[in-house]
Amino acid sequence: MDPFPAPALERNWADLGDGPAGLIADRVLARDVADYVRFRAVCSSWRRCSADPRVQGGLDRRFHPWQWAMLCEELAVPDRRSFLNTSTGEFVQVDIPELHDHKVLASTPEGLLVLVHKRQRAAVHLLNPLTRQITHLPPLTTLLPPKHVDKLSEDYIYFDGEFRAWGSGIANDDSTTVLLCFNRLRIIGMAKPGDESWNLLDYGANGMTTAPLLFAGRFYCVSLTDVMVLETGPDQPPQLKVAANLGLHVSPIAHSVHLMNNSGELMLVHRRFARLTPRNKSGWAYNSYRVDFDSGTLFPVKSLGGRAVFMALDCSLSVPLDVFPSGSLCADTIYLRFDIRERMMLKAGAYHVADGSAELPCGLLVPRPHTLIDFLSFADTVKK
C-alpha cells in the first residue's frame, strides 16, 4: 500500500456541463424558488444553464415564492423585510429597494407583493420579492370611484385601511388575470398585464362581513348568509355566486367571520361572543368549520389537522408544527394576531379548537418578537 497516495483530484463544479446542471436547476426550482436563486448565484456557468427569472413573465407560477410569508415587523434597514418559509421554518432577510418609493398594499397567496407608488399613487405593481420580477398593472384611477381617487394624494392612513388589498392574487382559470380586491370599498378589479384599465365588479349590495380569500386560484368571500365565490367566463360578466350556506347567525357588528386556507382545505372561523367558563375567561369563542362544496354547507370541526393557525382580522397563516422546535406551538390551536381585540386587551392569546379553552397572552406587544408565537404573529400574509 502506497504510504503517500496521490491527492484526490478536486472536482470543478463549474464545469458540470449544461445538461446535468440544467437538470439540477429544474429540480431545485420545483422545490423552492429561493434555492433556485441561490443556485444561480454560485457561478456564471450555472446561471447560463438556467432561466433568468427576471426575463420571464412576472406571472410565471414556476418562480413564485409560494412557501414564503413576509413578516410585517419593522427592521433597522427601512427597505429590508423578513420572510419565513412556512414549510421548512427557514428565516431570511431580503433587501427590497422598491420599498423605498412604494407601499405594500397586501401579500398574495403566490408570495407576491401588491405595491403602489408613494408619490404616483395610481401606479400599481406586483413584485416578486425573491426574484425581483415586476408586473405592471393598470392605474388605480381606472378602478376606484371618483370620490376615492381624490384620497390617493392624501395621508397614508387610507392605504392602511380602505386601500388594503386582501383577497388579491392571480386567478387559476387564466394565469394572466390579476384580481385586485379592496374589500372595505366592496370592489374587485380584474386585469391582465398590458391592459389600460381594470374590469370592475362592485359587490357592495352583498352585505359582506369579512375579508376575502383567494383559495386555489378562486376568489371567496362571506356575506351575511353565504360563502360566495367569484365566477368568471368568456360569455358572462363576472359575478358572485353561492358556494356554501352559512347556516349561522352572524352579527355584522359584534361578530367576525374568517376564511382561511388550512393546508389546501378551505375553512371558516366564526368569532363570536361566548359565556365565561373556567377554561375560557375571554368572553369569546372561535367555532371552526370546513367548507363542504359538495353539500354546499359548513361542517363543524374540532381539529385543524394538527396544524396551528395565526389569525388576524384580514388574513391568516396556517403552519405545520414539525418544522419548529418541539413544544413551541400547540396543535389544533388558533393564535390571535395583534390586531384582534381580545389579544390587544390581554383577554386571549390562543384558542384550542378541540376543547374550547383559551390561553392568556404572554404580554403586551413588544418592539421585537421575543417568542416564536410573537414572531409568527407578525406574518403579513394569507397562506396554507
Exposure string of 207-241, with b = 16+ CB inside 10 Å and e = fewer, is ebbbbbbbbebbbbbbbebbbbbbebeeeeebebe
Confidence of residue 294 (pLDDT cuts 50, 70, 90): very high
For residues 5-13, give the mean pLDDT: 59
Sheet holding 178-182, edge to edge: 169-170, 178-182, 187-191, 199-202
Instruction: Please give the pLDDT value at position 64.
Output: 95
Residue 20 pLDDT > 90, yes or no?
A: no
What are the φ and ψ backbone dihedral angles of 22, each rounded to 5 degrees? Answer: -65, -40
- Please, what sign has the CA dihedral across residues 10, 11, 13, 15? positive
| Domain residue extents for the chain | 11-51, 56-202, 207-384
Say which residue, 267 or 146, is predicted with more confidence: 267
Instruction: Please give the pLDDT value at position 136.
Output: 94
Q: What is the pTM of this model?
A: 0.88
Instruction: Please give the pLDDT value at position 114.
Output: 94
Confidence of residue 71 (pLDDT cuts 50, 70, 90): confident
Instruction: Please give the pLDDT value at position 58.
Output: 87
Angle between helices 33-40 and 18-31 (to 10 degrees): 150
Most confident of 17-31, 63-77, 188-202, 349-363: 188-202
Instruction: Please give the pLDDT value at position 4.
Output: 57
CATH code, 56-202: 2.40.128
Share of the chain above pLDDT 90, in %: 48
Amino acid at 266: L
Choice among 6-20, 32-46, 86-100, 116-130 with the minimum mean pLDDT:
6-20
For residues 187-201, give the mean pLDDT: 93
Cell output for 198: 381594470
Instruction: Please give the pLDDT value at position 159.
Output: 65
Say which residue, 29 or 78, is predicted with more confidence: 29
Residue 184 pLDDT > 90, yes or no?
A: no
Instruction: Kindly state the greatest CA–CA separation across the chain.
Output: 88
For residues 81-101, give the mean pLDDT: 91
Instruction: Please give the pLDDT value at position 175.
Output: 67
